[in-house]
């Protein structure tokens, strides 16, 4: 019998011109696989969190832009690029904080431009020689979107291997929100070390913060870890300090939606609180981040735009009856920023990066160009 880990988080159904995803708003009660055919459907799926998690959003964006452009009627290279950029901007507007979204869209455009030069001989967007070949560019967009997905799986596995070096037999681990397989294409980021530890037979216990108000820890992380056979315990967000004080937690692994050049990391709301308490109890706090999530063009966490969500997520969602007075104001940021001084290490596919982050993140990129 299939469990949640047997399904692909994001996939391209090319013969149906569709992006296929697990509708994560229905988990854990129902595993609904849905197909998205239009740009509006893909935009809504990202905004409404039917597909979520920075890496998975990036993969969905790559597939989505290809589907968007598959039947372009552009007759010139300039028209094709103009259409691609307009549709890319539209998809990018669905969520502002996760850098993987804009990263994947920029990568798709860059690939189109590289192919135009290398395969078609177009050296100028005006294409005065009329060398434009729409079919070649569309085919290359499909292949590039598939590469983004394949690389995501490889990167998550490598993050898991690097994170595994930080785990010992008998460890209790805490995570916040969902940086698991449901947020990527396989393994996850923060959960990748946990899956590999479990595969190797290490005795670990994983504690999942519930993650208000959207309950990603309860609905998604606890669901997938339990499905994998990992010893899993769920707790409300405001219980994590009590748990840490008992000595049950040996390390904390979280994902992120954007890392600034100085090592500040934006992740699901509540993460910075976990990091602050972890510092108080001398518990190492690790951010698991594929390099596609590290934005060297963002200087510090203060420069990261934080998405504000609808108040109904706090006052009404999940309840049979409204649980707050009518008219009350609601503060509902989707993310917060954890200061780099609270982070013990950033686990990437190239290794565990330690402070000073500004220098060492730059060095990592320079060495792995």
Q: Does the annotation count 302 as an active-site position?
A: no
Output 138-143 pairs: Cβ under 8 A, ≥24 positions apart: 138/66, 138/69, 138/70, 138/72, 140/111, 140/112, 140/115, 141/65, 141/66, 141/69, 141/108, 141/111, 141/112, 142/12, 142/14, 142/66, 142/70
Closest CA to 262 of 292, 300, 220, 225: 300
Label residue 32 left, alpha or beta by phi (over 0 means left) and psi (-120 to 50 means alpha).
Answer: beta
Query: Is residue 159 within 8 Å of residue 254, measured between CB atoms?
Result: no
Identified catalytic residue from 257, 264, 295, 336: 257
For 319, counting Cβ atoms within 10 Å of its Cβ (0-12 exposed, 13-18 middle, 19+ buried), the class is exposed
Q: Tell me which residues are annotated as active site.
A: 257
């Amino acid at each position: 019998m299939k469990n949640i880990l047997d399904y692909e988080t994001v996939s391209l159904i090319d013969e149906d011109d569709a992006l296929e995803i697990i509708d994560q708003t229905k988990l854990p009660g129902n595993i609904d696989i849905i197909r998205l055919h239009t740009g509006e459907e893909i935009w809504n799926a990202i905004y409404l969190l039917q597909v979520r998690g920075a890496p998975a959003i990036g993969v969905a964006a790559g597939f989505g832009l290809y589907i968007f452009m598959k039947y372009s009627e552009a007759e010139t290279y300039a028209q094709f690029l103009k259409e691609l950029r307009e549709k890319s901007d539209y998809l990018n507007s669905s969520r502002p904080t996760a850098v993987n979204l804009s990263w994947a869209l920029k990568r798709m455009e860059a690939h189109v431009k590289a192919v135009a030069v290398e395969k078609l001989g177009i050296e100028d967007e005006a294409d005065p020689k009329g060398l434009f070949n729409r079919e070649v560019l569309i085919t290359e967009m499909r292949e590039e979107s598939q590469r983004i997905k394949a690389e995501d799986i490889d990167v998550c596995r490598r993050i898991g291997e690097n994170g595994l070096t930080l785990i010992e037999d008998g460890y209790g681990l805490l995570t916040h929100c969902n940086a698991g397989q449901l947020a990527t294409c396989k393994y996850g980021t923060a959960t990748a070390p946990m899956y590999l530890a479990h595969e190797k037979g290490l005795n670990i216990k994983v504690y999942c913060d519930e993650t208000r108000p959207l309950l990603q820890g309860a609905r998604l992380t606890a669901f997938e870890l339990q499905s994998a056979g990992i010893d899993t315990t769920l707790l409300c967000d405001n219980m994590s300090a009590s748990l840490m004080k008992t000595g049950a937690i040996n390390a904390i692994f979280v994902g992120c939606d954007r890392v600034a050049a100085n090592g500040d990391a934006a992740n699901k709301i509540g993460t910075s609180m976990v990091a602050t308490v972890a510092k108080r109890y001398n518990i190492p706090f690790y951010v698991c981040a594929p390099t596609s999530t590290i934005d060297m063009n963002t200087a510090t966490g203060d420069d990261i735009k934080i998405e504000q969500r609808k108040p109904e997520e706090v006052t009404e969602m999940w309840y049979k009856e409204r649980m707050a007075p009518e008219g009350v104001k609601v503060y509902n940021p989707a993310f917060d920023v954890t200061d780099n001084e609270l982070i013990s290490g950033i686990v990437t596919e190239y290794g565990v990066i330690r402070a000073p982050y500004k220098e060492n993140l730059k060095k990592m990129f320079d060495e792995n160009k």
